[in-house]
Amino acid sequence: MVKKEKMIVLPCDCKCCMFVIEKTIWEDGDISYNITVQDSRYEHNYNTFWGRVKRAVKALFGKPVYFNDVHLEGEEQFIKLVSDMTELTNYN
């Protein structure tokens, strides 16, 4: 069972996705982190047959396969993210 949960949500500047870090403290004292990039845009055609084949071939040959990224303009948001991550680490 989950004892405590806390999360950081950082939306992309264009609002198409968000970077999410979740910290879970379990009743037995174990701590886990889940880091995701959640996409809200579907016009990329990533889920077509050919899109999947293209990604599979790239992975087969050791090329990077990008599903999504979070774009931040300037340093203010990144500095806040680092501060929030430090706070999350110290969260009990």
Give the model's pLDDT for residue 13: 84
26-55 pLDDT per residue, tens: 899 888 898 888 876 555 556 678 877 888
Q: Whose CA is closest to 36, among 22, 52, 25, 26? A: 22
Domain that holds residue 48: 2-90
- Domain count along the chain: 1
Report the predicted TM-score, pTM, of the whole model to 2 decimal places.
0.65
User: Is 74 exposed, middle or buried (CB count within 10 Å of its CB: 0-12, 13-18, 19+)?
Assistant: exposed
DSSP H helical ranges for the chain: 49-60, 76-90
Written as one letter, the residue type at 80 is K
Sign of the Cα pseudo-torsion (90, 69, 71, 41, in order): negative
Residue 90 pLDDT class (50, 70, 90 cuts):
very high
